[in-house]
């Protein structure tokens, strides 16, 4: 099993190559999926799935999970995985963090966190224009900013998880 340092270094090396392609003229949108998948599979998912019950859930997603009493099937149960900070807003931070493994580790720890929300809550984010951006004047690492802006609530224990992950 890879150590956290090895996983972070793998993310760093992939991002170095991707950002070099952008510097040479590739459109940033053409690397987005690779960037997102590298971060998810190498950093976020190393010991848990997207639908893991230990991940923070909105209050509505937590109620849904309790009602089904089983494994979430995202499309079937109307629950979706969301990054608290859209990766599209992080590219400059991630690019700077490629300077060292430790800088990348700190950046990933500060900004990368997945939550489960309902499909209806996901639509509220999209309708408010917050699918790929943070609300104006929000701190770039405020993991609750987008949700607060559209009235998505989290229970106390899930809020603590989000605040402690910085």
What string of pLDDT tens digits covers the 166 residues of the chain? 889 999 999 999 999 999 999 999 999 999 999 999 999 999 988 667 777 788 899 999 999 888 877 666 656 678 899 999 999 899 999 999 999 999 999 999 999 999 999 999 999 999 999 999 999 999 999 999 999 999 999 999 999 999 876 5
Which CA distances in Å does 107 have to 4, 13, 99, 111, 159? 13, 15, 11, 6, 20
Residue-level pLDDT at 76: 67
Q: What letter would DSSP give residue 31?
A: T
CA 41/CA 82 separation, integer angstroms: 15
Burial grade of 70 (CB within 10 A; 0-12, 13-18, 19 or more): exposed
For the chain, the maximum distance between any two Cα atoms, rounded to a whole number of angstroms, is 50
Instruction: Give the domain ranges of the chain.
Output: 49-164
What confidence tens digit (pLDDT) does each residue in 24-63 have? 999 999 999 999 999 999 998 866 777 778 889 999 999 9
Residue of 93, 148, 76 whose CA lies nearest to 115: 148
Residue-level pLDDT at 67: 84
Residue of 84, 74, 67, 70 whose CA lies nearest to 142: 84
Residues 6+ apart with CB under 8 A from 17: none
Residue-level pLDDT at 166: 58
């Amino acid at each position: 099993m890879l150590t956290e340092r090895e996983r972070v270094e793998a993310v760093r090396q992939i991002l170095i190559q991707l950002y070099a392609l952008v510097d040479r003229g590739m459109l940033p949108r053409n690397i987005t999926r690779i960037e997102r998948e590298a971060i998810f599979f190498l950093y976020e998912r190393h010991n848990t799935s997207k639908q893991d019950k230990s991940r923070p859930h909105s209050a509505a997603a937590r109620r849904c999970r309790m009602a089904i009493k089983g494994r979430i099937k995202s499309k079937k149960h109307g629950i979706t995985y969301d990054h608290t900070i859209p990766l599209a807003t992080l590219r400059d931070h991630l690019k700077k963090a490629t300077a060292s493994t430790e800088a990348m580790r700190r950046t990933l720890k500060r900004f990368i966190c997945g939550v489960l929300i309902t499909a209806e809550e996901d639509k509220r984010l999209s309708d408010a224009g917050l699918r790929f951006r943070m609300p104006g004047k929000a701190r770039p690492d405020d993991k609750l900013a987008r949700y607060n802006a559209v009235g998505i609530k989290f229970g106390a224990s899930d809020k603590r998880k989000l605040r402690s992950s910085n």
